[in-house]
């Protein structure tokens, strides 16, 4: 094989910018693809006009409510183009969807035209009959859009809770609220600023919009293949190299897309066969890909949509959330890396031959500008604090430079980029619009604060019990909902309870986001693991169990940073450094115990004595990783000393069993 062929072998395999999910998205004709591109372009222009205050349509910036009506109407129309109501219309847009789109145009056009009247005359409390009628129609449309974009679980949860104000007065006192007629509930949902157009949609329209455009543009200009090939060039030859590539590439791509399942289906067809070729079992390779893809959701700088919604809830900048996520995400990926290295060392699994890998210099030369736009994005986010405008500038720079490279976009591919952006935007907007109804229902009844206080009362002021209750609730909700949807619901219900119990607000919100995400790698409904299993062609439940083992450390990290926010880089350097050092040591020990091989020491053993050694070393790792100070009240030095003694004991037991059973070891 020539060097040039090696440079492009993996690149060609990775160049797949549009991974379909069978039965989920419609297969659109050229006419409807054009319609999607036009609607996406219109929504993007509206967003740019509002975010940059360009004043295209009026002498000054457009009224926020008018902008939200227009953008939401466009997004909902795209939901009914993109997502079929049933498999029978997977290949065409039926007449009734066209009718719904027409109704959306009329209803939201009317709301946008009368935006000033709606605000000045407070239609959310007292509306004319036409406002009530259109609000009821909008309510029904949003519920159906949520079903198509998010599935039946979201539809059922949102339907029950959005109607909650109508029957809340009939419920037991602990969950009772103020009863309202359906007309009052409808106008509050649709014409107010706390429900359909509350924080979720506001965050989408003002912050998330540009980052979605940036993420899709990276994919269509070759950013995905660049990062995958760069990872192969740097890590592919190492022990267990293809699995380490999966961590690097899937983490970065997951950060761009914010979709664990989509990420698995994008990078998995490349990384899983490469892992299999170097000796990894099918279920282990699929587990690595599932964990890496899921971890991308919490990986700065983009982190998907959830981080932006969190910033809106907390009233802080997005950069604050992204900085707080650095250490937990690095610990998670470091844990994966160490486990893979231990697994490969234990089984003597080598990397791919260098001659089959792309050369780092050539890959960098062809794709340097992807790193350049990332640096621009980070500079504008961190230094200039331009969160809303930064992704638009980064996208513009990317598209301009790209046209002078071999990846330049043709007109057809550019239109496909726009249409794909619209598909992603429609999916997220449909879910967020529906989830907004939950926010409104709890706000209008006053139930959110009451429920938070009840949770604290049930926990008996025991923070650990409250955290365990929160973890279980977050996990269960994460099974049926997307990470963003589950987070929004819990940010209203659970986060206030954690904060009322004395926990740090940022740590509390991060806690529920992490535990909502864990359902993607935890059976019985481990969507990322099951998607990876379909790529690897192996038993889904076996992959789910392997994903749990590989991702073990992430089940503990949320408790760690709640106990001491220094792990979120909150505090002085003298508070943060000891926590980081002991956490790294702890993750190394836990990872070694899980795989039965401790880097720098060797095998821990598989017999009874070996398992005992692994348990002791694993527990020592957890004690090392637990941050001192904070809620626990134990010093970092005391915890480290106890963990060190446990580690020595575990290693002594492992050494003794190796002496007694050298063949087994």
pLDDT tens digits, one per residue of 517-552: 888 888 877 888 888 998 898 888 899 899 998 988
Q: What is the pLDDT of the chain when averaged over all its residues?
A: 85
Range of the domain at 649: 572-665
pLDDT at 661: 65
List pLDDT tens digits, range 458-478: 767 678 888 888 888 777 777
Cα–Cα distance, 75 to 81 (Å, whole number): 10
**Range in 4-8, 213-217, 493-497, 613-617 the model is least confident about:** 4-8
Could you tell me which residues come within 8 angstroms of residue 414 by beta carbon, excluding any fewer than 6 positions away? none
Could you tell me which residues come within 8 angstroms of residue 295 by beta carbon, excluding any fewer than 6 positions away? 250, 251, 254, 329, 332, 333, 336, 551, 554
Could you tell me which residues come within 8 angstroms of residue 400 by beta carbon, excluding any fewer than 6 positions away? none
User: Could you tell me which residue, 603 or 187, shows the higher pLDDT?
Assistant: 187
65 band by pLDDT with thresholds 50, 70 and 90: confident
- Cα–Cα separations (whole angstroms), residue 600 to 278, 341, 342, 363, 546: 23, 11, 10, 33, 24
Which token pair is 608?
């009874």
Q: What is the pTM of this model?
A: 0.81
pLDDT at 17 over 60: no
pLDDT at 587: 94
Over range 127-151, report the average pLDDT. 94
pLDDT at 254: 64
pLDDT at 258: 53
288 within a domain of the structure (yes/no): no
Cα–Cα distance, 481 to 517 (Å, whole number): 10
Cα–Cα distance, 224 to 420 (Å, whole number): 15
106 band by pLDDT with thresholds 50, 70 and 90: very high
554 band by pLDDT with thresholds 50, 70 and 90: confident
| Residue after which a domain boundary falls, among 172, 202, 232 | 202
Cα–Cα distance, 385 to 171 (Å, whole number): 47
| Residue after which a domain boundary falls, among 138, 167, 202 | 202
Cα–Cα distance, 313 to 488 (Å, whole number): 9
pLDDT at 8 over 60: no
21 within a domain of the structure (yes/no): no
pLDDT at 55: 66
Which token pair is 342?
């231990």
User: Could you tell me which residue, 477 or 57, shows the higher pLDDT?
Assistant: 477
pLDDT at 138: 97
406 within a domain of the structure (yes/no): no
List pLDDT tens digits, range 396-416: 999 999 998 888 888 888 888
- Nearest by Cα to 44 from 77, 67, 17: 67
pLDDT at 596 over 80: yes
pLDDT at 568 over 70: yes
481 within a domain of the structure (yes/no): no
Q: Convert 341-364 to b/e letters by CB count within 10 Å (16 or more is b).
A: bbbbbeeebebbeeebbbeeebbb
Cis geometry, peptide bond prior to residue 315 (ω within 30 degrees of 0): no
The rounded radius of gyration (Å) of the Cα atoms in the chain is 26
Q: How many CA atoms lie within 13 A of 51 on its CB side?
A: 25
In the block, residue with structure tokens 């022990």: 239
pLDDT at 607: 84
| Residue after which a domain boundary falls, among 173, 202, 231 | 202
Cα dihedral sign for 279, 285, 291, 296?
positive
Cα dihedral sign for 496, 500, 503, 504?
positive
List pLDDT tens digits, range 266-286: 778 888 888 888 889 999 999
Does an H or E element contain 602, and which? strand 602-603
The contacts found for 454-462 with CB under 8 angstroms, 24 or more apart, are 454/174, 455/493, 455/494, 455/497, 456/497, 456/500, 456/501, 459/497, 459/501, 461/501
**Range in 57-66, 332-341, 551-560 the model is least confident about:** 57-66
Cα–Cα distance, 91 to 105 (Å, whole number): 23
pLDDT at 363 over 50: yes
pLDDT at 7: 44
**Range in 155-169, 211-225, 292-306 the model is least confident about:** 292-306
Cα–Cα distance, 446 to 453 (Å, whole number): 12
124 within a domain of the structure (yes/no): yes
105 within a domain of the structure (yes/no): yes
Number of domains in the chain: 2
375 within a domain of the structure (yes/no): no
Does an H or E element contain 319, and which? helix 318-324
4 within a domain of the structure (yes/no): no
């Amino acid at each position: 094989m020539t060097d040039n062929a090696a440079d492009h072998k993996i690149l060609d395999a990775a160049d797949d910018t549009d991974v379909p999910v069978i039965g989920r998205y419609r297969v659109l004709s050229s006419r409807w693809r054009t319609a999607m591109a036009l609607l996406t372009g219109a929504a993007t222009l509206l967003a740019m006009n509002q975010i940059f205050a360009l004043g295209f349509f009026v002498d000054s910036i457009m009224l926020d409510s008018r902008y939200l009506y227009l953008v939401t109407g466009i997004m909902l129309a795209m939901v009914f183009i993109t997502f079929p109501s049933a498999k029978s219309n997977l290949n065409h847009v039926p007449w009734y969807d066209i009718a719904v789109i027409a109704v959306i145009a009329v209803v939201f056009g009317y709301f946008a035209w009368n935006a000033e009247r709606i605000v000045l005359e407070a239609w959310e409390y007292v509306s004319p009959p036409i406002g009530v009628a259109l609000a009821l129609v909008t309510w029904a449309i949003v519920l159906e859009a949520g079903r198509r974009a998010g599935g039946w679980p979201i539809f059922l949860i949102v339907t029950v809770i959005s109607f909650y104000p109508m029957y809340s007065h009939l419920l037991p006192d602990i969950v009772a609220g103020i009863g309202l007629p359906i007309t009052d509930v409808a106008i509050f949902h649709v014409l107010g600023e706390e429900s359909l157009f509350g924080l979720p949609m506001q965050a989408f329209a003002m912050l998330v919009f540009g980052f979605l455009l940036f993420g899709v543009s990276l994919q269509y200009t070759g950013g995905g293949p660049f990062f995958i090939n760069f990872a192969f060039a740097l890590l592919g030859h190492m022990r267990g190299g293809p699995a380490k590539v999966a961590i690097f590439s899937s983490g970065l791509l997951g950060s761009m897309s914010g979709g664990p399942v989509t990420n698995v289906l994008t990078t998995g067809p490349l990384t899983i066969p490469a892992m299999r070729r170097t000796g990894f079992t099918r279920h282990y390779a699929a587990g690595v890909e599932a964990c890496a893809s899921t971890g991308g959701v919490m990986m700065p700088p983009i982190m998907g949509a959830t981080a932006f919604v969190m910033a809106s809830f907390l009233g802080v900048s997005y950069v604050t959330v992204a900085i707080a996520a650095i250490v937990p995400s690095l610990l998670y990926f470091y844990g994966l890396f160490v486990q893979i290295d231990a697994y490969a060392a234990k089984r003597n699994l080598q990397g791919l031959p260098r001659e089959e890998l792309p050369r780092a210099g050539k890959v960098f030369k062809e794709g340097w500008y992807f790193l350049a736009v990332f640096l621009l994005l980070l500079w504008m986010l961190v230094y200039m604090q331009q969160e809303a405008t930064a992704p638009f500038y980064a996208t513009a720079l990317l598209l301009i430079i790209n046209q002078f490279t071999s990846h330049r976009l043709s007109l057809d591919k550019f239109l496909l980029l726009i249409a794909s952006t619209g598909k992603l935007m429609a999916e997220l907007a449909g879910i967020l619009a529906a989830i907004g109804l939950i926010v409104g229902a709890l706000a209008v009844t006053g139930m959110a604060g009451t429920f938070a206080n009840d949770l604290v009362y049930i926990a008996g002021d025991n923070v650990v019990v409250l955290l365990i209750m929160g973890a279980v609730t977050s996990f269960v909700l994460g099974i049926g909902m997307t990470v963003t949807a589950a987070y929004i619901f819990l940010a209203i219900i659970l986060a206030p309870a954690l904060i009322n119990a004395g926990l740090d607000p940022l740590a509390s919100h991060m806690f529920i986001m992490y535990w909502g995400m864990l359902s993607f790698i935890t059976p019985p409904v481990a969507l990322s693991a099951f998607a990876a299993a379909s790529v690897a062609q192996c038993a889904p439940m076996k992959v789910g169990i392997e994903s749990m083992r590989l991702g073990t450390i992430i089940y503990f990290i949320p408790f760690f940073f709640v106990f001491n926010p220094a792990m979120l880089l909150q505090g002085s350097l003298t508070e943060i450094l000891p926590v980081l050092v002991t956490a790294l040591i702890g993750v190394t020990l836990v990872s070694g115990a899980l795989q039965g091989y401790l880097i720098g020491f060797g095998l821990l053993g598989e017999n009874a004595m070996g398992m005992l050694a692994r348990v002791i070393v694993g527990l020592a790792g957890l004690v090392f990783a637990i941050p001192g100070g904070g809620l626990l009240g134990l010093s970092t030095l005391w915890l480290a000393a106890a963990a060190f003694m446990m580690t020595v004991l575990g290693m002594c037991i492992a050494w003794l069993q190796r002496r007694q059973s050298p063949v087994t070891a």
